[in-house]
Amino acid sequence: MLIGLPARLNFYFTMKSIYKFLLVSFVAATSSALLTSCDKTIEEPLRVGYTPATLDDKAGTWKPYILSTPTAVTVAAPVATTSSAYAAELSSLKAKSAELTRAQQEAVVYWGAGAVYRWNEIARELAAKYNLPPASNAAGTYPVPDPANPNADPRFPFANPPYTARALAYLSVAQYDALVATWHYKYLYKRVAPSKVDAGIRVALPVSSLPSYPSEDAVVAAASAVVLKAMFPGEVAFIDAKVAEHAASRQWAGMNVESDLTAGSSLGTQVAALVMGRARTDGMSAANNQSLTAGMIEAAQGRGQTQIWLSQESPIRPPMLPNYGAVSTWNFDRATLVKLRPGPAPLPGTAQFDKELDELKTIQKTQTREQARIANFWADGAGSYTPPGHWHRIAANAAHEARYSEVRMARTLALLGTTLQDAGVCCWETKFYYYTPRPQQFGVKTSVGLPNFPSYTSGHSTFSGAAATVLSYIFPERSQEFMDKATEASVSRIYGLIHFRSDCETGLICGKNIGSYAVNRGKADGSGL
Amino acid sequence: MKILRLFVVAGALLTGLPAWAQMPHDAIYMPKNSACIAGMYGQSTWNEYWEGSLKRANFNIGTHTTQSAMLMPAIGLSNRVNLILSLPYVWTKTSAGNLMGQRGFQDLSGWLKIRLAEHKGLSLHGVVGGSLPASRYVPDFLPMSIGLGARTVTSRLLVNYTHPRTGLYLTAQGSYNWRSNIRVDRDSYYANERLHQTNEVQVPNGYDAAVRVGVLRQKWQTEVFAERMANLSGDDIRRNDMPFPTNNMQATTVGWYGKLQPRHIGVNARVGYVVNGRNMGQATSYTVGLLYQIGGL
């Protein structure tokens, strides 16, 4: 405003009032900034426990993924609540729950939000921690993370989207299968909650009429620990500490006697061992087989792909998991996967390709703040829990808000988790089948960072289409919201300038088709849901 | 899903591009009822940065450049109270890789500089300043972001001795920089060794300190300086990760500053070089300015 002042005489004359104005506004701005936000504590959403909307007492009959039947794992019959052994357990529980420290209270509230809910969240945190690509070395190559030495640089794993999709799928499947077996045994043995035997037990969480043997919390903790230690072998101590705190919190809360927990831990471990048996033979160990890419490129060129994908990194980085498309799917077979693969992308040089490239060049020049916001919100790039993690978070929150029982929460996340991995496998198979170039090979920059693998189809779009389809089935009243999110996640990759429109639109459709197989599974799993 | 390029914020961004002309860090005052308007251009480049304490290059960035154009009026409210304002327009680019440069008005800053005491060439000064983002730029697309997006409040004490006859001076300063939390577009991020499930991000507070030695004459000034800025908390850039506003950024800069102002119109220039740092680029920077004084001569 001073710049605009024209003449010197006027300037002298008006100077004082301007000073005054500037001084007052400056002091006001400064003090209001100070007063409103000196406290820099960050408030994060707090999730607390609830009484489930329904107990799902028939869940012992729901169809598991890996277990042939709940009785494939064993749980010994509990001692009677009238026995002296149980009385001893009760008095031990009474002592542990009588008086809690602040830290114990916090642990009770934290774990009380839900066993499946918290372990899913922990897995997402580990994904974010490990989702960092190896740095190049002095020789200009990229060392491969070593599972036998997970804490060396580069750390194992590089929890990229395909890796994380798989880790979360196994986690959710192990939790679900274990809880189906748990429900079977709970209603077989029907041992009531300790506080229903002895009204003198102080409980810190809502108590339902769900039988408490074996403890669903101990089941979930044990099953989750087996899967997560395999997926994140550098985190064994961290995971063990979480398991110990989780189990202890059930006693601090007056919810489980020791034998509830011991039986649960045993059941969870048994089921997870069976589930991880599948993981050892699902083809993941060959997902990073880089020797296959030459043949893939040749095959793509044979199908008419004139210009193929090239890594845009320096030094050239080998593509992310080129053979992930060969990893086992959950909800359909290999022949179906081939049918789910879309037709080819527009070829460079065609009018359609030029049109889509022009769209990106225009956005590069005119990107609005809203487009940038959408691109950033869904970017879920390096250092994040990836798009599969993002959708697990959305699903876990929706199930929490619907006050789902542990077993129904696990079913939700298993349907979601398996479809997300199916989406990853299908998308990767398509990417390396067509081997199409990225927009950056045509002079486009990016406002979110460029993934290091072929363009068509968009992973975000495929993941999101599949996830939104499954969540729409589970929460029909929120269907529009999930579909809108998927559409936004899909188009975010255009706004971020790393995908052509065809990559996104076709990927979204493929994702929805992929999701329908998980929906069919859900409709036929005996839950009646 | 984006694969990496490692990035670091340019040194200049962190301190909110404080100006170097009429300055919130010197003992020079515009006389009452006068003003000096500086128009300045600055450029800061680096091709190596510190990932935590690890010094490294990044072939997907090459040379990172931050440019800025800034208007900075300094106004003599009285002979011992000056008001200094600045508003930079900033743009960034890299020589390699494919990160899109960002551009826009960065932060509007205001400073009140007050001479608290003076005795035979020795003087004590207090400076309070604050800044507010002047546009809705993206603060967490580092190192391409043009700023960190935080509101800031700075309080500074400055001691100066000027030899009356020769104009030889020695200045020492220390400041505390308070920074507000910011909101980012994403609603989850990993920082300080855990996952945060919110779009609110804590930007660490920091301090800065500097020593300057120079000569100030009526029509010219020349000085050499050493500046140190560091956050008081914050995390390191993870191995091969991008930088983030929670990082504990630190830098030690040495440089030269000069000014020539025969009458109303003058010029100034500053060069700086980061000799040591953490979670920042090893920047070489220069600024040139055109000064125009109104009144007071």
DSSP class per residue in A467-508:
HHHHHHHHSGGGHHHHHHHHHHHHHHHHHTTSS-HHHHHHHH
Distance from CA of A320 to the nearest CA of B (A): 9
Closest residue, chain A, to B97 (C-alpha): A313
Q: Is residue B109 part of a domain?
A: yes
Q: Which amino acid is at B195?
A: L
**Structure token digits, residue A476:** 């029909």
Q: Does B83 touch chain A (CB under 8 A)?
A: yes
Chain B positions touching A450 (Cβ under 8 A) are: 2-3, 98
Q: Do A44 and B294 touch (CB under 8 A)?
A: no
Q: Is residue B3 part of a domain?
A: no
Out of A372, A382, A386, name the one closest to residue B242 (CB): A382
Q: Does B191 touch chain A (CB under 8 A)?
A: no
Out of A19, A390, A440, name the one closest to residue B75 (CB): A19
Q: Do B151 and A129 touch (CB under 8 A)?
A: no
Give the ipTM of the model, two decimals please: 0.91
Give residue A32's pLDDT: 54
Out of A15, A313, A385, name the one closest to residue B3 (CB): A313
Find which of A42, A46, A386 to mutate to test the B interface (most B CBs within 10 Å of its CB): A42
Closest residue, chain B, to A18 (C-alpha): B77
Out of A44, A153, A385, name the one closest to residue B239 (CB): A153
Chain A positions touching B100 (Cβ under 8 A) are: 364, 367, 445-447, 497
Chain B positions touching A37 (Cβ under 8 A) are: 151, 180-181
Q: Is residue B6 part of a domain?
A: no
Return the DSSP state at A325.
G
Closest residue, chain B, to A320 (C-alpha): B3
Q: Does A11 touch chain B (CB under 8 A)?
A: yes
Out of B2, B77, B153, name the one closest to residue A34 (CB): B153
The DSSP result for A77-131, as a single string, is PPPPTTSHHHHHHHHHHHHHHHS--HHHHHHHHHHHT-HHHHHHHHHHHHHHHH-
Chain B positions touching A383 (Cβ under 8 A) are: 189-190, 238, 241-242
Closest residue, chain A, to B6 (C-alpha): A135
Q: Do B100 and A133 touch (CB under 8 A)?
A: no
Q: Does B297 touch chain A (CB under 8 A)?
A: no
Chain A positions touching B87 (Cβ under 8 A) are: none
Task: Indicate the helix (H) or strand (E) that contains A429.
Answer: helix A406-434
Strands (E), B139-283: 152-162, 168-179, 182-183, 189-191, 194-196, 200-201, 206-216, 220-231, 250-260, 265-278
d(CA A482, CA A399): 13
Give residue B264's pLDDT: 87
What is the full per-residue pLDDT of chain A (529 aa) written as tens digits? 333 333 333 333 344 554 555 555 555 555 555 555 567 899 888 899 999 999 999 999 999 999 999 999 999 999 999 999 999 999 999 999 999 999 999 999 999 999 999 999 999 999 999 999 999 999 999 999 999 999 999 999 999 999 999 999 999 999 999 999 999 999 999 999 999 999 999 999 999 999 999 999 999 999 999 999 999 999 999 999 999 999 999 999 999 999 999 999 999 999 999 999 999 999 999 999 999 999 999 999 999 999 999 999 999 999 999 999 999 999 999 999 999 999 999 999 999 999 999 999 999 999 999 999 999 999 999 999 999 999 999 999 999 999 999 999 999 999 999 999 999 999 999 999 999 999 999 999 999 999 999 999 999 999 999 999 999 999 999 999 999 999 999 999 999 999 999 999 999 999 999 999 999 999 999 999 9
Chain B positions touching A384 (Cβ under 8 A) are: 186, 188-190
Find which of A9, A10, A16, A22 to mutate to test the B interface (most B CBs within 10 Å of its CB): A22
CATH number of the domain where residue B274 is located: 2.40.160.40
CA distances from A66 to A63, A73, A127, A176, A231 (A): 9, 12, 24, 10, 18
Is the pLDDT at B154 greater than 80? The verdict is yes
Q: Which of residues 227-246 of B touch A (CB under 8 A)?
A: 238-242
C-beta atoms surrounding A19 within 10 Å: 18
Q: Do B73 and A2 touch (CB under 8 A)?
A: yes
Q: Do B2 and A448 touch (CB under 8 A)?
A: yes
Out of B5, B101, B200, name the one closest to residue A449 (CB): B5
Q: Do A133 and B202 touch (CB under 8 A)?
A: no
Give residue A125's pLDDT: 98
Q: Do A22 and B75 touch (CB under 8 A)?
A: yes
Q: Does A455 touch chain B (CB under 8 A)?
A: no
Query: Is A329 strand, coil or helix?
Result: coil
Chain A positions touching B240 (Cβ under 8 A) are: 132-135, 154
Give residue A372's pLDDT: 98
**Number of domains, chain B:** 1
Closest residue, chain B, to A448 (C-alpha): B2
The DSSP result for A222-278, as a single string, is HHHHHHHHHH-GGGHHHHHHHHHHHHHHHHHTT---HHHHHHHHHHHHHHHHHHHHH
Whole-structure pTM over 0.90, yes or no? yes
* CB A390 within 8 Å of CB A486: no
* CB A56 within 8 Å of CB A407: yes
Q: How far is CA B11 from the centre of its chain?
A: 8
Q: Does A99 touch chain B (CB under 8 A)?
A: no
Q: Do A42 and B96 touch (CB under 8 A)?
A: no
The DSSP result for A7-70, as a single string, is -HHHHHHHHHHHHHHHHHHHHHHHHHHHHHHS--PPP-PPP-----S---TTGGGSPPSS-SSG
Q: Is residue B1 part of a domain?
A: no
Q: Do A8 and B241 touch (CB under 8 A)?
A: no
Chain B positions touching A161 (Cβ under 8 A) are: 1
CA distances from B230 to B62, B110, B210 (A): 25, 21, 12
Q: Does A136 touch chain B (CB under 8 A)?
A: yes
Q: Is residue B245 part of a domain?
A: yes
Give residue A10's pLDDT: 39
Q: Cis peptide before A342, with omega less than 30 degrees from 0? A: no
Query: Is A175 strand, coil or helix?
Result: helix
Return the DSSP state at B62.
S
* CB B183 within 8 Å of CB B143: no
Q: Is residue B2 part of a domain?
A: no
Q: Which of residues 36-95 of A touch B (CB under 8 A)?
A: 37-38, 40, 42-45
Q: Is residue B201 part of a domain?
A: yes
CB pairs under 8 A between A and B: 185
Each residue of B111-153: pLDDT tens digit?
999 999 999 999 999 999 999 999 999 999 999 999 999 999 9
Altogether, the residues listed in chain B come to a count of 297
Q: Which of residues 248-287 of B touch A (CB under 8 A)?
A: none
First to last CA, chain B: 60
Q: For A352-363, b where at least 16 C-beta lie within 10 A, e where not — what string?
A: ebeebbeebeeb
Q: Which of residues 8-27 of B touch A (CB under 8 A)?
A: none
Is the pLDDT at B15 greater than 90? The verdict is no
Q: Does B200 touch chain A (CB under 8 A)?
A: yes
Give residue B24's pLDDT: 87
Altogether, the residues listed in chain A come to a count of 529
Is the pLDDT at B281 greater than 90? The verdict is yes
| Residue range of the domain that includes B85 | 11-294
Is the pLDDT at B282 greater than 70? The verdict is yes
Distance from CA of B70 to the nearest CA of A (A): 13
Q: Does A124 touch chain B (CB under 8 A)?
A: yes
Q: Which of residues 86-145 of B touch A (CB under 8 A)?
A: 96-102, 110, 112, 128, 130, 132, 136, 138, 140-141
Is the pLDDT at B260 greater than 80? The verdict is yes
Q: Which of residues 303-332 of A touch B (CB under 8 A)?
A: 312-315, 317, 320
Could you tell me the domains of chain A?
68-279 (1.10.606.20), 289-523 (1.10.606.20)
Q: Do A29 and B110 touch (CB under 8 A)?
A: yes
Q: Cis peptide before A162, with omega less than 30 degrees from 0? A: no
Query: Is B120 strand, coil or helix?
Result: coil
